[in-house]
Amino acid sequence: MNDPIKVVMMGLDGLNPDLVYQWKDKLPTLKKFMREGIHGKIKSTIPPITPQAWTCVLCGKNPGHFGYWDFTFRNEYCYGQPELVSSRVRDSRVDSVYKNLSENGKRVAIINVPVTYPPPEIPNGYSISSFMTPSVDKQFTYPASLKQEIRAIIGDYIIDASTSDTNFREMKKEDVLKRIYDMDNQRFELTKYFVKEKRCDFIFTVIMGTDRVPHLFYRYFDEDHKRYTHDTRYKDALKDHYRFCDQNLEEILNLIDENTVIIVVSDHSVQRLDGRINLNEWLIQEGYMRLKSRPKELTPLSRADIDWSNTKAWATGFTGQIYLNVKGREPEGLVVPSDYEETLDELSERLISITDEQDKKLETKVYKRKDIHTGEYSKFGPDLFIYFDNCRWNISELVGYDSIYSYDTPLGPDDAGHGPFGYFSAHGPGIPKLGEILEADLLDIVPTVLQLMGVPVPRDMEGTVLSEREERVYSDEDEKEVKQRLSKLGYFG
């Protein structure tokens, strides 16, 4: 009888699949996983934001089941998103993989996975919360004794690239880069420690530097970046960090036994940022939002003097989320329910027509919530989601701009934004040598883990098992060659 399969899952937040494939010869461990297992782009959530994306990885359900689409959410029909997400909110609404596994006798460790503060209490398991931890003075581990144990291993725990008083975007480049490496090295060392010492069946660690580095250094290697800057000190900063992660994956691979699978997954990509649409300013300009008075400086939506009784819509988030102010739903609703669909259609058409500041057409996609999200809490979510130019343009929800176009926000400069696809690969026992898998989704991760580990997949999970996908008939290269041949024969125009 074969021993049960164990899983080490490494989340590399923001890892860009296009860059992985571009740099694969410099990433021998990921290249090995791709050659000997399965890999591909993986569809992120809409919008591709860290909290709900990793929550979808944890629970295998779309955001409508847990009710948040950003770091904050609304629990009722109010204006804005006043509530902060937490593990208690999530765990009261959906079951996460650590519950599925622990209830089936598996020993589990969760390390730095977003939305794990307060640290989940996992029976016979471990958890270390993530960058939403207020400070290391708080209890951020389960069990509580683990806090001193990890301090003995790695020293003082680094919560995030930002410090308690400085946003990482505003720190000196050399200082923040060192801090990111120190932070990520802690996560990798803890993962190796749990592999060697804790005899866990499932370990899930998220590395945040793969998100933080491109936000700071994308302009130094991408010559198409609007703010491309030639600087030999930083031109390879992102590639070097990818190589650092790959080297650590190799070390983890060398520690695990023959009954362990390694899964690598990112929640979204981080890609070049071309600009921002100041979406609430656009709503004001187009007559969908009214102010009682203009602010004298850039002002968050929550502090803006909005005339809600004469406002049809407002925007939140940084990829583009619009709520309608519906009569009988919101406190001072204006849009009558019978006009709801017509208003969404009108907004969608006008949003798609927005150009960049040089009047160049943007490749914009608009999604209605009801078409993409289901579940008990979906009703509280945004009514529209917008991807400006495939997310190469983000939004600012601040009020007080003199234009609908901007780049930086008061939070500091930013080289990059989130893209709609992440990356995944899997290698080890039970993983077929199929190469690239098409149309993978973040919702597929938990069913795949459970199936590999011999744990029943709950029927209400929405994903499928990636390791049971059928082999592709054509590789990308073969498909291109066959299409070219058919084109020459006159079958394609």
130 and 185 both lie in a single domain: yes
**Residue recorded with tokens 């480049």:** 173
288 and 407 both lie in a single domain: yes
Q: Summarize the confidence of residues 38-49 as an average pLDDT.
A: 97
Residues 410-454 pLDDT 10s = 767 799 999 999 999 999 999 999 999 999 999 999 999 999 999
Residues 107-159 pLDDT 10s = 999 999 999 999 999 999 999 999 999 999 999 999 999 999 999 999 999 99
Residue 469, pLDDT score? 77
17 three-class SS: helix
358 and 429 both lie in a single domain: no
Q: Is the pLDDT of residue 227 over 80?
A: yes
395 and 430 both lie in a single domain: no
367 and 457 both lie in a single domain: no
**CB atoms inside a 10 Å sphere around CB 263:** 25
187 and 267 both lie in a single domain: yes
Of the candidates 192, 211, 243, the residue with the CA atom closest to the CA atom of residue 51: 211
Q: Which residues have CB under 8 Å from 142's CB, separation 6+?
A: 119, 120, 121, 122, 125, 126, 127
Rounded to an integer, what distance in angstroms lies between the CA atom of residue 97 and that of residue 127?
13
User: Would residue 86 count as lying in a domain?
Assistant: yes
Q: Is the pLDDT of residue 481 over 80?
A: no
339 and 456 both lie in a single domain: no
* 21-30, 208-217, 412-421, 437-446: least confident range: 412-421
Tokens encoding 283: 């709503």
Residues 50-91 pLDDT 10s = 999 999 999 999 999 999 999 999 999 999 999 999 999 999
> Among positive and negative, which fits the CA dihedral 192, 198, 201, 205?
negative
Rounded to an integer, what distance in angstroms lies between the CA atom of residue 312 and that of residue 39?
44
> Among positive and negative, which fits the CA dihedral 137, 245, 51, 34?
negative
Rounded to an integer, what distance in angstroms lies between the CA atom of residue 219 and that of residue 227?
6
15 and 105 both lie in a single domain: yes
User: Would residue 340 count as lying in a domain?
Assistant: yes
User: Would residue 233 count as lying in a domain?
Assistant: yes
Average confidence score pLDDT of the chain: 94
Residue 14, pLDDT score? 98
How many contiguous H segments (helices) and E segments (strands) does the chain have?
A: 14, 21
Residue 409, pLDDT score? 78
Residue 1, pLDDT score? 41
- By the 8 A CB rule, do 78 and 380 touch? no
182 and 250 both lie in a single domain: yes
User: Would residue 490 count as lying in a domain?
Assistant: no
Q: Is the pLDDT of residue 389 over 80?
A: yes
Based on the number of CB atoms within 10 Å of its own CB, is 98 exposed (0-12), middle (13-18) or buried (19 or more)? buried
Residue 165, pLDDT score? 74
User: Would residue 262 count as lying in a domain?
Assistant: yes
Residue 492, pLDDT score? 57
405 and 458 both lie in a single domain: no
Domain count, the chain: 2
Residues 337-383 pLDDT 10s = 999 999 999 999 999 999 999 999 999 999 999 999 999 999 999 99
pLDDT confidence bin for 474, thresholds 50/70/90:
low
- By the 8 A CB rule, do 290 and 296 touch? no
Residue 490, pLDDT score? 66
Q: Is the pLDDT of residue 470 over 80?
A: no
pLDDT confidence bin for 408, thresholds 50/70/90:
confident
440 and 391 both lie in a single domain: no
User: Would residue 493 count as lying in a domain?
Assistant: no
Q: What is the CATH number of the domain that holds 448?
A: 3.40.720.10
383 and 445 both lie in a single domain: no
Which alpha helices (DSSP H) does 194-325 contain, by range?
209-217, 237-255, 279-285
pLDDT confidence bin for 257, thresholds 50/70/90:
very high
Which alpha helices (DSSP H) does 194-231 contain, by range?
209-217
Q: Summarize the confidence of residues 159-175 as an average pLDDT.
A: 85
Q: Which domain holds residue 283?
A: 275-413
For the chain, what percent of residues have pLDDT higher than 90? Answer: 89
User: Would residue 489 count as lying in a domain?
Assistant: no
364 three-class SS: coil
Q: Is the pLDDT of residue 239 over 50?
A: yes
User: Would residue 334 count as lying in a domain?
Assistant: yes
Beta strand 38-43 with 321-324 is: unpaired
Residues 321-341 pLDDT 10s = 999 999 999 999 999 999 999
Residues 90-105 pLDDT 10s = 999 999 999 999 999 9
Residue 146, pLDDT score? 97
